[in-house]
Structure 1
């Protein structure tokens, strides 16, 4: 990735991605595999990945994009989740646990954020114009 940068006070700042590199935050349950709730952790080890998700995620990784799985699974399910991702050959850089459950996300950031809703097919992304909410000027 990129080298460590420092601000004017010598403090390390978050690295920037090179031009053209995307930082994918990808859900697990219901997106790359069956929707397995935290209340049924025994299913986490035995569910199968969606083949199109495995192929596409690994393609993005191989192209140099950053892959972070961001899941509602709780911290106590980290090992079974990591084992499952590795068993099935998912390539990734990081795994964030404890995403709030529910589907009404509104991400506010000082950087441009793009979101894509998974609707049953995991493929390359295409450009499409949509209406979005922005802050009033």
Structure 2
């Protein structure tokens, strides 16, 4: 995918988001407990020295190299942005964006007018496979 497709378009003075090709996935990935050990905001001194999970590094970078979009979405607060960006760089993670301040807790529901797929990390970071599961949806 070319950088041209990802560059924000200008319409007058208004910026609009890029339209991704159908074969490009937009990954939204947690940091603590998913690509590294679980470091709570109450222990920010650990954020600089925690170890990356090798399988997560390899998989995320492979997805990036295939042209997919990588956005890290973390419960780390905005005051932890600098240490987080430095850690991602030092550990070799390739990514496009970083969203800070995700609420902590485990009951996330993403409602969107586009297809959303969710995958819970359970200790092994690999390419994704298709499985049939039961999900909650809006009543028709």
CA contact (8 A) 1:5 1:14 kept: no
Query: 1:18-97, aligned counterparts within 5 Å?
Result: 18-97=21-100
The counterpart of 2:101, out of the listed 81, 98, 110, is 98
Deviations 1:63-99 (A, max 9, x none): 0000000000000000000000000000000000000
Structure 2 unpaired stretches of 5+: none
How far apart are residue 136 of structure 1 and its match? 1.0
Structure 1 unpaired stretches of 5+: none
Secondary structure of residue in 2 paired with 1:67 = strand
Distance 2:53 2:25 in 1: 22
Query: 1:120-131, aligned counterparts within 5 Å?
Result: 120-131=123-134
CA RMSD of aligned residues (A): 1.6
Q: How many residues align?
A: 135
Is 1:109 aligned to 2:124, yes or no? no
Distance 2:95 2:78 in 1: 18
Tell me the TM-score normalized by structure 1.
0.93
Distance 1:12 1:69 in 2: 22
Secondary structure of residue in 2 paired with 1:78 = helix
